[in-house]
Chain A
């Protein structure tokens, strides 16, 4: 139901895989896996919430890397965060403001 938007869940799933690969905090990694499962199985209408939670996780990961002075990890995480944000805005899952 709700148009042919399944591909949005697919793209989000792919981006969450990328996020998982740069998750340097174990608890965050588990949470990303949970979010990915939700993106793949729950109704499309839940994707906005999944995205918002994923973006908060990227914030937490970035802060953690900054705190530890791990700049390579920070750069990777910030890049994924930017991709996630751009996609979410273009897909209408978030508004740009």
Chain B
């Protein structure tokens, strides 16, 4: 990007920015075996073939009854996929593989202690375990299709077994990440109204057997506080027959699963045929209100989407040993440890513990030992592995054909280490962009057909047509160098159906911003607002920039303007607040707060002190503002948005830009005169900003 182009992009929006990189091509050996090696696939998934193109994904599944409508948009934006179709997710992930692959490993579980044996679970064994647990849930637990069951389980095989058992019955499962507190779990249980909680006594992490059951007691209490009763707590034991928790079992509420299962040995239950649009699971994600959002994913659309993307983007073949080094407690694990790979009949590796325990070579030892040839993890883990053991991969004899990175933008230098050192230069890498709400990948490269570009996730995946809009809803053209909000113009089968129990919130958060006609049933009027900033290069590749709202980098601490403003608003007298960066020789940037007071409240030094103290208390001393300025009003647009760009310009003695379109342009001069005079009186003589600093200030607040 040129400096001129950067001028239009907020520094905050480009929390991660780097120059365009050279492309890499995958090895010929990889292309020769890839599932998607024929460019004709792009034609099949062109927009003119939407939505019927997704039949190709749905045909990867076994249906009890074929669908009559591929996409029903009648109740936009609550899309329905494959309407009329019926299937069972468990049957697709387990039963249908028995005929050809009964004794093939479905899951290989690696416990964290290296002294413990790796556990191989064949499709036959998985079938047996899933059936027994499903019968237990149905007959002992009394749950039926449509009921919810919550799991608070760590990375043990009991987790996919429990998920598939629920799927077999049509019961909606909701897994809460095992590391989360009991209170967080209880909140999610109450929200989903689950009557059964499935947990475990303990698990290994960093060499310690963590007491996990104690959290179940907290969860029950938290759910009770929220007005919901958890009737039964099912407790798996990490070491069957040996209880690892100090928490007492509560009579009549808590039950050991291994004891109950004795009554269901060899029991089976027929998979319940479900409508394609029946919910399969809830995956909670944090929200802006503090109330978690239960993202509701469907059975047919979701399963088809993760099967399709696993086949083409993960390039999973039945003979591969695939390891997604993530936690099933997140969407990545649901889609790309359990449902996607198992729908394809692959072998999926699960690891219990910390990737760097007991040392930075652990991951690569597992890859060597198990013959892993597809590896999938997040940039945070990659950075950690690189930092703690940059040369470790070279010590192990493993060979990867394919590697995935997921979850965050990855810096080119980290990408290159992943490719050159971890992948030994032998693997195709796919960088993926997507979200909990999406079910599966939205942006990536088709590994045999599209070159890899470090730092860019790639174009939209098959059947996904992304676009970048500016705040006014105008398209930001590819190659313009400008950033904006990445949106998806069309629905896709993996998209979540709603926020559990909060359909209005679903509509408001994800569709309201760019909806063209709220009465329309045409999907073209309902772009999906992803909430991530992005920039698109001329070649169509997207570079994801992360959060859309602004941050101020103070001595290495990335402080969100929203948090600073929220802290200020905890002061009773404050009506409005705006945080802006100001150049600071010592810390790089410092925070200045502008606050407007409620009617009838007089300005005083005491209120300024209260605001500073509130930020101290809520965020910490690092965020303490250099100044708190009480102003009569904020410069605002006609729609009421505070123009932080203008305020930042004033604080930095920089150009405030065009203010003629503001609702109250006269306030700008008032504020400028007063603030700059006070600064000068205090001896804060402004220095000349560098061109880059001036551009940063000019662009500040664009994210709003």
A92 touches B205 (CB 8 A): no
In the complex, A27→B100 CA distance in Å? 60
A95 touches B286 (CB 8 A): no
Q: Which residues between 504 and 525 of chain B lie within 8 Å of chain A, taking CB atoms?
A: 509
B408 touches A14 (CB 8 A): no
A2 touches B619 (CB 8 A): no
B181 touches A3 (CB 8 A): no
Q: Considering only CB atoms, which chain A residue lies closest to B566 in the complex? A: A46
A94 surroundings in chain B (CB, below 8 A): 556-558
B553 touches A7 (CB 8 A): no
B288 touches A11 (CB 8 A): no
A2 touches B558 (CB 8 A): no
B330 touches A10 (CB 8 A): yes
In the complex, A7→B326 CA distance in Å? 8
B531 touches A49 (CB 8 A): no
A1 touches B330 (CB 8 A): no
A52 touches B619 (CB 8 A): yes
Q: Which residues between 1 and 23 of chain A lie within 8 Å of chain B, taking CB atoms?
A: 1-11, 13-14, 17
B408 touches A92 (CB 8 A): yes
A4 touches B558 (CB 8 A): no
Chain B nearest Cβ from A10, distance in angstroms: 4
The answer to whether B138 has its CB under 8 Å from any CB of chain A is: no
B408 contacts which of A3, A42, A46 (Cβ < 8 Å)? A3
B406 surroundings in chain A (CB, below 8 A): 4
* Number of interchain pairs (Cβ within 8 Å): 146
Q: Which of B306-314, B376-384, B593-601, B643-651 contacts A (4 or more CB under 8 A)?
A: B376-384
B532 touches A1 (CB 8 A): yes
The answer to whether B605 has its CB under 8 Å from any CB of chain A is: no
In the complex, A17→B183 CA distance in Å? 13
Q: Considering only CB atoms, which chain A residue lies closest to B387 in the complex? A: A90
A86 contacts which of B287, B332, B387 (Cβ < 8 Å)? B387
In the complex, A11→B205 CA distance in Å? 11
Q: Is the interface of B mostly helix, strand, loop or mixed?
A: mixed
B437 touches A53 (CB 8 A): no
A2 contacts which of B183, B330, B435 (Cβ < 8 Å)? B435
In the complex, A89→B549 CA distance in Å? 20
Q: Considering only CB atoms, which chain A residue lies closest to B623 in the complex? A: A49
A42 contacts which of B290, B531, B619 (Cβ < 8 Å)? B290
Q: Which residues between 28 and 43 of chain A lie within 8 Å of chain B, taking CB atoms?
A: 36-37, 40-43
B560 touches A49 (CB 8 A): yes
B407 surroundings in chain A (CB, below 8 A): 3-5, 7
B331 touches A4 (CB 8 A): yes
B549 surroundings in chain A (CB, below 8 A): 45
Q: Mark B346-385, 1 if CB is under 8 A from A, else 0.
A: 0000000000000000000000000000000010110110
- Interface size bucket, A side? 35 or more
A96 touches B556 (CB 8 A): yes
Q: Considering only CB atoms, which chain A residue lies closest to B330 in the complex? A: A7
| Also in contact, A3 and B290, with CB within 8 A (given A10-B330, A14-B179, A49-B623) | no
In the complex, A91→B410 CA distance in Å? 10
A17 surroundings in chain B (CB, below 8 A): 179, 181
B332 touches A52 (CB 8 A): no
A1 touches B530 (CB 8 A): yes
The answer to whether B187 has its CB under 8 Å from any CB of chain A is: yes
B563 touches A46 (CB 8 A): yes
B563 surroundings in chain A (CB, below 8 A): 45-46, 49
In the complex, A8→B387 CA distance in Å? 18
The answer to whether B436 has its CB under 8 Å from any CB of chain A is: yes
Q: Mark A44-84, 1 if CB is under 8 A from B, else 0.
A: 11101100110010000000000000000000000000000
B544 contacts which of A3, A14, A48, A49 (Cβ < 8 Å)? A3
A95 surroundings in chain B (CB, below 8 A): 553, 556-558
The answer to whether B668 has its CB under 8 Å from any CB of chain A is: no
Q: Considering only CB atoms, which chain B residue lies closest to A36 in the complex? A: B181
A93 surroundings in chain B (CB, below 8 A): 558
In the complex, A40→B560 CA distance in Å? 17
B532 contacts which of A3, A37, A87 (Cβ < 8 Å)? A3
Q: Considering only CB atoms, which chain B residue lies closest to A1 in the complex? A: B531
In the complex, A13→B184 CA distance in Å? 10
Chain A nearest Cβ from B577, distance in angstroms: 15
B184 surroundings in chain A (CB, below 8 A): 13, 37, 40-41
Q: Considering only CB atoms, which chain B residue lies closest to A44 in the complex? A: B286
The answer to whether B562 has its CB under 8 Å from any CB of chain A is: yes
B384 touches A86 (CB 8 A): yes
B384 surroundings in chain A (CB, below 8 A): 86-87, 90
Chain B nearest Cβ from A36, distance in angstroms: 6
Chain A nearest Cβ from B295, distance in angstroms: 10
B331 touches A6 (CB 8 A): yes
The answer to whether B113 has its CB under 8 Å from any CB of chain A is: no
In the complex, A46→B561 CA distance in Å? 10
A87 surroundings in chain B (CB, below 8 A): 380, 384
The answer to whether B327 has its CB under 8 Å from any CB of chain A is: yes
Chain A nearest Cβ from B30, distance in angstroms: 25
B620 touches A2 (CB 8 A): no
The answer to whether B622 has its CB under 8 Å from any CB of chain A is: yes
B557 touches A2 (CB 8 A): no
A6 touches B436 (CB 8 A): yes
In the complex, A94→B544 CA distance in Å? 19
In the complex, A95→B569 CA distance in Å? 27
In the complex, A73→B285 CA distance in Å? 35
In the complex, A68→B255 CA distance in Å? 45
B287 touches A43 (CB 8 A): yes
| Also in contact, A37 and B183, with CB within 8 A (given A5-B408, A42-B286) | yes
In the complex, A94→B406 CA distance in Å? 20
B408 surroundings in chain A (CB, below 8 A): 3, 5, 91-92
Q: Mark B532-574, 1 if CB is under 8 A from A, else 0.
A: 1000000000001011110101011111101100000000000
A4 touches B434 (CB 8 A): yes
A41 touches B187 (CB 8 A): yes
In the complex, A92→B546 CA distance in Å? 11
Chain B nearest Cβ from A94, distance in angstroms: 6
Chain A nearest Cβ from B246, distance in angstroms: 13
Chain A nearest Cβ from B201, distance in angstroms: 17
Extra contacts besides A5-B408, A46-B560 (12): CB < 8 Å: A1-B285, A1-B437, A3-B434, A3-B435, A4-B330, A13-B181, A14-B205, A45-B549, A48-B559, A49-B559, A56-B622, A90-B380
- Nearest first, the 9 A-B pairs at minimum CB distance are A1-B531, A14-B179, A95-B556, A90-B383, A40-B184, A10-B177, A48-B558, A91-B380, A4-B407
Identify 19 residue pairs between A and B in the complex whose beta-carbon atoms are under 8 Å apart, listed by A's number.
Answer: A1-B285, A2-B547, A3-B546, A4-B330, A4-B436, A6-B330, A7-B407, A10-B330, A11-B179, A11-B380, A13-B177, A13-B179, A37-B184, A45-B547, A52-B620, A86-B387, A91-B408, A95-B553, A97-B555
List chain B positions with a Cβ less than 8 A from chain A. 15-16, 177, 179-181, 183-184, 187, 205, 285-288, 290, 292, 326-327, 329-332, 378, 380-381, 383-384, 387, 406-408, 433-437, 509, 530-532, 544, 546-549, 551, 553, 555-560, 562-563, 619-623
List chain A positions with a Cβ less than 8 A from chain B. 1-11, 13-14, 17, 36-37, 40-46, 48-49, 52-53, 56, 86-87, 89-97
